[in-house]
Chains A and B, each alone.
Chain A
Amino acid sequence: MIRKLAAIHITYSAILALVILLMGGIVLSYFPAHQKAIDGLNTNLIHQWLFHNIFNNTLVTAWVIMLCLASGILFINTLCCSMTTLVSAAVKHSSINRWSFLCMHLLFLVVLLCHGLALISGHKTQEIELYPGDSHGLINGFSLTVDEVNFVDDIRLISMKMKKSRKLMTRKTFHADQNTARVTLIKDRTPIKSQKVMMLKPLVYDGMRITLTRFLLKKDTETREVNGNTSNENNPRLEKEKIGAVFIFSSNNFTALFFIAYGLLILTIIIYMLMRP
């Protein structure tokens, strides 16, 4: 049975099926309704997503299930192949080449497993919009407070549409390392960690990540009394701009393992490549 599951025909078919399914995913992404459903997978755990989408978008649900099945078959096939053919080949004719070949497959399994586990575990909240002084509750009694937001560049970069700002946000006009938000991670009213976060430099604590994705602009209007007169003409409405930031909160215990296994996988391929007869 294990020998049958380890067959190269299954490997080939599973890989081919995955290629076709992923191409299908690219096609589905061109339809806004399907794209929205696929986007939902980035913010939900897969079982929660399936529960919500099974009747709303049957096509994307079927696609996700088939993708998971094909990945599962490839995982089992690689595991069986490694445990039978590759282990015995490495033991019988021991060489760096054969051991690196076996390790390469085992590390691929770890990477695939980390991907799978990331789909069913962890936590993620997107689009947390906060202004200085605001707080947001996270998980396990943690909360996030924004102490201050510091934006040194032209604020028009924040208010314009993404496509336009993308062109104008050059290294000269947008200083990613100077536009910051000071945030504090609090657990049960006790500050745990306070740090300046900036785009591409998140706050990391115990597997949790607070990532700053973009800045926000809010126009606060307030009425000022001029010379005791409250008529509309003499009461100019002052528009004060308030800058906030958008955060993503994510927590995944397998991220470190994923990066280590991925790095080692690359290393074993290099060793295998160099040792190939």
Chain B
Amino acid sequence: MIFFLSSLYYLVLGLFVLSLYFVFKKKKSILKKIVLTCTGLTGSGIMALILWEHRLPLYGAFEASIYIIFILCLTEILFWKDSRDIPIVNTCGATAFISLFLLIYHSAQPKTFNPDFFMYANPWVNLFFNLRLTAGALFTRVALLYLAGLMNENQKSRQEILFSSARQMLLAGLVIFLCSEWAGSWWCLNWLGDSWRWSKGFFKAAIIFLLVMLSCHLPPSLSRNSRVKALTGSLPALFLLWIIFYH
């Protein structure tokens, strides 16, 4: 299993490095194929985890990175369907860049799944951690779309499509995040007798929700500024990734 996971890691890493070359060459069709291959590879890693460990991807540097990359690639593929006038090279490039960053940043970590714990048998625990990872990936996609939007500052129609997609994805991420929190509250109620606790973990979760709210409640003077909009929209991703990898 360790050999399989290490091979998977280096294969995906190699493919994303290669994709950066094709981003500069603006080879859209090859980029699409690389993203598709990476989706398949990371997907096979997740399947292996589910079959081997009998649980969903939860946390830990390796499995969290692989799962987030899988969701990122999947949302990228779904994005191709809707896009007509969208710079796919930009979005593919940003996906590859973020994925590569996650992989390189965790290169020193063991390429194994997270150690087992008896609570992983509980469905609420699985839902809480897995949906949190999914929300992390969706918020990362939001940041990526805002970034692509900023890169297309001169083409307002393109920027509008990218920003609108980002907002839709932000709402989707919020739904998934709230589902995770709902499951987490239920877990906490059954574990510690309370649906909410005064603790670091709960403060962090509340901050994520508030950051999404902040992005949705910008005063007109600020929401007119595309940079402020993009920065505020990217904050949930930055904060949630920090929680996932440093909690």
Contact = CB atoms under 8 A, between A and B. Distances in A.
Interface of A: 8-9, 11-12, 15-16, 18-19, 22-23, 25-26, 29, 38-39, 41-42, 115, 118, 124, 166-167, 169-176, 199-202, 209, 211, 213, 248-250, 252, 255, 258-259, 262-263, 265-266, 269-270, 272-273, 276
A38 B217 contact: no
B175 A269 contact: yes
Interface of A is mostly: helix
B181 to A, nearest CB: 8
Main secondary structure of the interface of B (DSSP, over half): helix
13 contacts: A12-B214, A15-B214, A18-B210, A42-B194, A170-B115, A170-B117, A175-B118, A211-B190, A248-B192, A259-B182, A266-B182, A273-B168, A273-B172
A29 B192 CA distance: 19
A41 B202 CA distance: 13
Nearest to A9: B219
Nearest to B220: A8
B150 interface: no
Query: Which of A16, A25, A172 neighbours the largest number of chain B CB atoms within 10 Å of its CB?
Result: A25
Given A22-B210, A25-B203, A258 B117 contact: no
Given A9-B219, A12-B218, A272-B171, 11 more contacts: A8-B220, A15-B214, A16-B214, A23-B207, A29-B199, A167-B115, A171-B120, A176-B119, A209-B193, A259-B182, A273-B172
B29 interface: no
A166 B118 CA distance: 9
B211 interface: yes
Contacts of A255: 189, 195
B244 interface: no
Nearest to A270: B175
A199 B178 CA distance: 25
Nearest to B182: A262
A172 B210 contact: no
B118 A170 contact: yes
B193 A248 contact: yes
B105 interface: no
Contacts of A9: 219
Contact of A213 (B118, B192, B214, B218): B192
B52 interface: no
Contacts of B118: 169-171, 173-176
